[in-house]
Amino acid sequence: MATWVEDEIGRKWDRCFTDAIFKFGGGILLGGVFSLFFFKRRKWPIITGAGFGLGMAYANCQEDLNSAIRQQQKRDCTKVDEGIKNS
């Protein structure tokens, strides 16, 4: 069964959003634990953890989407070159 490129990119975007939600939540949770036990209930460890989570999700999403674009751009141009030489 053939898949459309738009469907594949849509699935990749869905994975990106899910990954961002999980990593954002995990960063908040981990930052909250560090804030509670080590930093006397300050806000900055929670914000930093959330930022790290979103940054990791962004990097993963960027790589995933770029791989789809790189895969899509591979084309055989030899037939076009032969047609120009024969003209």
Q: Does a structural domain hold residue 28?
A: yes
Q: Does a structural domain hold residue 2?
A: no
* Neighbouring residues of 63: CB distance < 8 A, sequence distance ≥ 6: none
Q: Does a structural domain hold residue 5?
A: no
pLDDT of residue 74: 55
Task: Quote the domain boundaries for residue 68.
Answer: 13-85
pLDDT of residue 32: 93
For 21-74, the pLDDT digits (tens) are 999 999 999 999 999 998 888 899 999 999 999 999 999 999 988 877 776 555
> By CB neighbour count within 10 A (0-12 exposed, 13-18 middle, 19+ buried), where does 45 fall?
buried
Q: Does a structural domain hold residue 19?
A: yes
Per the structure block, which two tokens stand in for 74?
């591979």
Q: Does a structural domain hold residue 60?
A: yes
